[in-house]
Structure 1
Amino acid sequence: MTETTALPTAFAAIVEDFTALGPNDRLQLLLEFSQGLPALPERYADHPELLEPVPECQSPIFLLTEVDGTGDDAAVHLHFSAPAESPTTRGFAGILHEGLDGLTARAVLDVPADVYNRLGLAEVVSPLRLRGMAGMLGRIKRQVREKAGL
């Protein structure tokens, strides 16, 4: 069993991309994910109160999980608000967005809570920052469970 076996295809590909690189290049890839984070949709841009803060992150980040339907097969969509001057936090949000957005509720809930460890970023990012990514994933999963009725 490889480290990516239990991961959704998109997330497994991200893990493979990170682990194929050396430490400095991993940090660069994280910054690229920060630049690829989609903007918050208009319907939420004027309503920040609808987004949940992630206090585990050292930088201010807010997220909202939309779930289309109920049950294991409900489609999940992720939205994040993070300042451009927080590239590490935005990078983690970008990874979660690319790896999880559009998946079923069950697929999101089955992602291991420590998936951030598989990215090989512990060499270049502080444990406090990695805890922020874990906080984001934990909130996403809780919102999915609540909204999908699981």
Structure 2
Amino acid sequence: MTESTASPAALSEIIDDFAGVPDPQKLELLLEFSDELAELPARFHGHEAEMEQVVECQSPLFLAVELEGEPGPDAVVRLYITAPREAPTTRGFASVLSQGLDGSTAREVLDVPEDIPAKLGLQKALTPLRLRGMSAMLGRIKRNVREQAGL
């Protein structure tokens, strides 16, 4: 049983990918994820101010969380996150969360451990300030899910 078993399947796969590379290459893998951050749907273009800014991130990062289906633990979570290309570590972690959590149920997202940056093994690659920003991003997602799902 791996440490990632409490996470949704997609996030568990990402955690396993990071676990499979040596520490010096973890930052490179994070930067690869930065190139994979999905574009925002057209309805959000020019409306980033309507999204929630994660001020703990060193770069401007905005996110929106929506639930599909009836509010509750089985509602499907949809994540929309934007960060500038000039902030590849922030974009990389946003992409990890987006790819790992989008499409999961509200309960699965709320059950994700808080220490995802540590599970990715990024403590040696990133400063504590960046790690706090990443944790804050997950915290905001969870707070939004909890409020919208009524949990």
Superposition TM-score tier, normalisation by shorter sequence: over 0.9
CA offsets per residue over residues 88-134 of structure 1, 9 Å max, x none? 00000000001000000000000011122100011111111111110
**Separation in 1 of the partners of 2:48 and 2:139?**
20
Hey, what does 1:60 align to over in structure 2? 60
Q: What does residue range 89-108 of structure 1 map to in structure 2 within 5 Å?
A: 89-108=90-109
- When structure 1 is superposed on structure 2, of 56-65 and 42-51 the one drifting more is 42-51
Hey, what does 1:37 align to over in structure 2? 37
Hey, what does 1:8 align to over in structure 2? 8
Per the normalisation by structure 2, the TM-score is 0.96
Hey, what does 1:128 align to over in structure 2? 129
1:27 aligns with 2:30: no
SS state at 1:4 partner: helix
Q: CA RMSD in A?
A: 1.0
Amino acid at match of 1:30: L
Hey, what does 2:113 align to over in structure 1? 112
SS state at 2:6 partner: coil
Amino acid at match of 1:131: R
Per the normalisation by structure 1, the TM-score is 0.96
Uncovered stretches (5+) of structure 2, i.e. residues with no partner: none
Structure 1 position 19, deviation (Å): 1.2
**Separation in 2 of the partners of 1:81 and 1:113?**
21
Structure 1 position 50, deviation (Å): 1.6
**Separation in 2 of the partners of 1:31 and 1:106?**
29
Amino acid at match of 1:80: I
Structure 1 position 46, deviation (Å): 2.4
The runs of at least 4 consecutive aligned structure 1 residues that moved more than 6 Å come to none
SS state at 2:104 partner: coil
**Separation in 1 of the partners of 2:48 and 2:13?**
32
1:140 aligns with 2:141: yes
Amino acid at match of 1:51: M
SS state at 1:63 partner: strand
**Separation in 2 of the partners of 1:146 and 1:50?**
17
CA offsets per residue over residues 57-81 of structure 1, 9 Å max, x none? 1111010001113100001000011
Uncovered stretches (5+) of structure 1, i.e. residues with no partner: none
